[in-house]
Amino acid sequence: MATSEMMLSLGLIEKDVNADTLWVWCYPSISADLREVLLRKCCLPLNNQVLHTFVFGQYCRTWYYITTVEVQEPTALKKVTHFSVVITAKDFNPEKYAAFSRVLCRTYIKHGSPVKMMECYIAVLTKGICQSDENGSFLIKDYDVRKAYLAGSLKDVVSQFGMETIILYTALMLKKRVVVYHPRIEALLEVTRALPGLVWHRKDWSILHPFVHLDDNELENLKLCTGYVAGFVDPEVRDRSDLFDVYVNLSDSEITVSQNAKEAMAMGKLHKEIGNFIVQAAEDTDCTDAQVIKDISGKTKEILSNLMSLVDEAENSKLTLETLKQRHYPPATENFLFHLAAAEQLLKI
């Protein structure tokens, strides 16, 4: 699939001089349900002075990217104080859509009409490029998805949590539900987007839901996922133990394992060894974030190949607890491999 075919829709939300916030335009269409979610994400309905210039997230398997601008006089926009350009897409690539949104915003400020924005959108959709001397150019092939995956900093995560990073690694390996809290959305987006890099062998950023509100529809959608990394700016999420196996308080640098996940998440010698490995890799000043991800991925492949060798010996290529017990692993290692086999669908039920 060409990257330009990943885009689904373009929308426009405005806040006027009366402080009313409304959807004013979209192309080709956005469902009423999704419009309600996006209105909540864009920050314009909030009557505070904090402007979140760029946010992104996922809802019902659709990625959204929202760029919000304060209108500075004089422009072609009358009676509009702020507006948000919304792009929905099938792919995770914040840098790509942030760059395209900047071009769309400049176009809208200059012309004051969504028609010109639609022309840019169709040009990218059909040709992968939109060129303009005054509003800037955008070339879709400049934005490789691997760059988006590597843009988050695992080194920063390890720097903040040290050996406790092993809890995050274990949770993601076992496809557990990780909830991350921080009052500031920018900090939340920065950290949550990096976490799927701990399980690089899956290259699966669909587990990422970086900006979730405590809204019934959003939570029902989240609960349909088996494992996830979900970001919240509402501190009340800490009381919602039905939503997480691991709770990360970013502002206090604290990680808590919920009672119901403690058995699966029990730590032992293997975890300590992996934890030390992750910390040493991240602390190496000569190592880039990409190299740290590669090193952790190499360690993960060792564990998985060990698991696969057990599977190859097993009947019907499915692992049982009895097979694991015959190996006389330490209890925590046996427990981890058993739950990992379940996560990788290698377990005989």
Asked if 344 and 207 sit in the same domain, the reply is: yes
The closest alpha carbon to 145, from 199, 204, 227, belongs to 204
Task: Say if residue 314 is in the same domain as residue 171.
Answer: yes
Instruction: Give me the pLDDT at residue 85, please.
Output: 97
Task: Specify the CATH number for the domain of residue 335.
Answer: 3.40.50.11500
User: Do 138 and 245 lie in a common domain?
Assistant: no
- Could you tell me which of 89, 31, 42, 37 has the C-alpha nearest to residue 62? 89
* Same domain flag for 295 and 251: yes
| Whether residue 129 sits in one domain with residue 162 | no
- Whether 102 and 239 map to the same domain: the answer is no
Angle at 254 between CA 250 and CA 260, to 5 degrees: 110
Q: Which of 165, 119, 160 is nearest to 27 (CA)?
A: 119
Residues 289 and 163 in one domain: yes
* CATH code (residue 111): 3.30.450
Are 181 and 295 in the same domain? yes
pLDDT for 23-53, tens place per residue?
999 999 999 999 999 999 998 887 766 788 9
* DSSP string over 127-174: HSEE--TTT--EEGGG--HHHHHHSS-HHHHHHHHGGGHHHHHHHHHT
* DSSP tag of 210: -
**Cα gap 43→277, rounded to integer Å:** 41
Last residue of a domain, one of 147, 167, 199: 147
Same domain, residue pair 181 and 90: no
Domain shared by 79 and 60, yes or no: yes
Task: Give domain status of residue 70, yes or no.
Answer: yes
For the chain, which residues score pLDDT lower than 70? 1-4, 48-49, 133, 349
- What are the tokens at 98? 């942030």
317: left (phi over 0), alpha (psi -120 to 50) or beta: left
Residue 1 lies in a domain: no
Total domains in the chain come to 2
Residue 2 lies in a domain: no
Q: What is the pLDDT of residue 323?
A: 85
End position of a domain, from candidates 147, 165, 195: 147
For the chain, the first-to-last Cα distance in angstroms comes to 36
Whole-number Å distance between alpha carbons of 181 and 191: 10
Render pLDDT for 256-310 as a digit per residue (tens, 0 to 9): 999 999 999 999 999 999 999 999 999 999 999 999 999 999 999 999 999 998 8
Tokens 């799927």 appear where?
Answer: 196
Host domain of residue 32: 7-147
In a domain, 209, yes or no: yes
Who contacts 143 (Cβ-Cβ below 8 Å, separation ≥6)?
3, 93, 95, 96, 99
Same domain, 204 and 98: no
